Amino acid sequence: MALGLLSIVAVLVIAAIVYLAVLGTQSRGMDVTVGIVDGRLRDCPSTPNCVSSDVGPSDDHYIAAITDASGAKWARLVEAVAALPGARLMSSTEHYAHFTVTSRLFGFVDDIEFHYRPTDGEIAVRSASRVGQGDLNANRKRVDSVREMLR
């Protein structure tokens, strides 16, 4: 009886690992649409694995923008984010930056975007997983890490 249960658990663990590896591979091969639309970062999908400062505070995806009245944080942002494990700068303009962040385990790729708004004294942010439903708050933690690095 115990051996049968152990075998079932082992099969389930192996299936979960294979599933996560497949999702990681899919996320690395995906084409994503990022950028600014009508002066704002794109909306989050309905899944809970995205955070954005361009949604209302009552939205579960909400995270506060990074305050930056002087522009000093924006000037340091690319270098700071590039220091995150797995981060890679994909594009950058005077007021926008897009990075991908690849996880060590399974190679999941997330996208993190920043939109500097000097007249508002803030840097809007959006961080989203490409696949799956949950992210164990990885995107929220990543934005909080960037915020801390820029203090």
Closest CA to 98 of 132, 125, 68: 125
Q: Which domains does the chain have, with CATH numbers?
A: 2-149 (3.30.310)
Joined tokens for residue 16: 């979960």
Alpha-carbon distance 66 to 134, whole Å? 24
Single out the residue of 125, 151, 145, 136 nearest to residue 36, CA to CA.
Answer: 125
Report the C-alpha gap between 43 and 128 in whole angstroms.
Answer: 10
CA-to-CA dists, residue 91 to 24, 78, 88, 97, 135, angstroms? 22, 10, 9, 6, 24
Local confidence pLDDT in tens for the 151 residues of the chain: 687 888 888 878 777 666 666 666 666 666 788 999 999 999 999 999 999 999 999 999 999 999 999 999 999 999 999 999 999 999 999 999 999 999 887 788 999 999 999 999 999 999 999 987 777 899 999 999 999 999 9
Is 109 in contact with 30 (CB distance < 8 Å)?
A: yes
pTM recorded for the entire structure: 0.85
145 in Cβ contact with 115 (< 8 Å): no
